[in-house]
Chain A
């Protein structure tokens, strides 16, 4: 319990996380407005979820910053491990606290995007998707251990490789982690599986590697 409280405190006091959450929410609001405006002349079929397709980037950044902050200058990870040397429980607690911190941010962001477009039924699914995306990003950053390269990798995959692969008929695009953003029922399994797999990989590397 102490570990959870300590991890929670670290996450809540990171200024970069607060700023990211705020910017993400503001961007969602702006895009929801843009879609509502565009909706007036030409009805869009996915206006409820489309803004989230962009602002999920904020959640990717949130996960990256949360995980990479331990490895920045000062090497906070050494202090963390001194206080809590059992790495696997620490990793689990880290993932759980990040999920708990992200959940309200994700819920507000999801509601901002879905409610104006009349897609209130999507809100819980979108909240879960954004939270899982954050955990996935944190796991990737935990393996890469550097914020900028991890961000390049994730943003490149989500915003450049993903759309390119989806533009091709058939293929592997249905199995990408961000499929749920466009096709929730089918993509949910892909998102959960990817997040679990990358978290397991991060746990393994965290357990094995020198800090």
Chain B
């Protein structure tokens, strides 16, 4: 088990695109806090920013591209051709030769992804919230540990969501497009909440309620329930992905 996880960790961290995801995800949010500091300070002084308790946690959202890239690339790298000159040669063939038990392979892959993303989320959250405290410490309360844990969980579950969708599609473009469009400032899911209250239970909307307290959400969901709903989404998609991975030809 340990050697399998170590192998998967090495494969993931050796991918150039995964490194891009690591750097982007870890540095974007702190950089935004730093860049926006003058505007934020002015907004606090002018009194236009009434609720400051969400400040650092809200900025964390832009870093989510990191977990998305990591989750997608962990699977899609297995399916992309290893060379232009060797049609049909994919890394998955070698991976399955080394670990023929597909379920065990999937467990190890998932564990490696969770480890990397949780570490990245912890670093990004610490940097972002720490920076917020340093820059606006007088006005922003220190966030409760439970909310920070909720944010880290949100990052990890987002990576697993990307990973599960990629397991189903076997192609990185579809989940990436879907998830990146949906992480833009006004997300598609958020638009859907204007049509039906049911959209509040879409994974990205419900997940954010684990750590953001905001009046924008049409349905107020308790953090614990929110976490459970998002976990259920991820669990169902992962289960479908796992069954397909086991049943389909590689």
Contacts and interface: CB of A to CB of B under 8 A. Distances in A.
The DSSP consensus for interface residues of chain A is: helix
Interface string B167-183: 00000110011001101
Given A73-B81, A155-B181, A160-B184, A149 B20 contact: yes
Contacts of B36: 168
A71 B85 CA distance: 10
Contacts of A156: 24, 65, 180
Contacts of B72: 148
Interface residues of A, number: 32
Which of B28, B81, B184 is packed against the most chain A CB atoms within 10 Å? B184
B177 A169 contact: no
Contact of B180 (A74, A75, A159): A159
Interface string A74-95: 1101100000000000000000
A31 interface: yes
B191 A34 contact: yes
Contact of B173 (A75, A77, A148, A168): A148
B88 interface: yes
Given A34-B191, A163-B185, A148 B172 contact: yes
B84 A71 contact: yes
B139 to A, nearest CB: 20
A151 B73 CA distance: 12
Contact of A159 (B28, B76, B89, B184): B184
Nearest to A165: B35
Contact of B76 (A38, A148, A164, A168): A148
A11 interface: no
A135 interface: no
Interface string A163-177: 110011100000000
A34 B192 contact: yes
Nearest to A38: B194
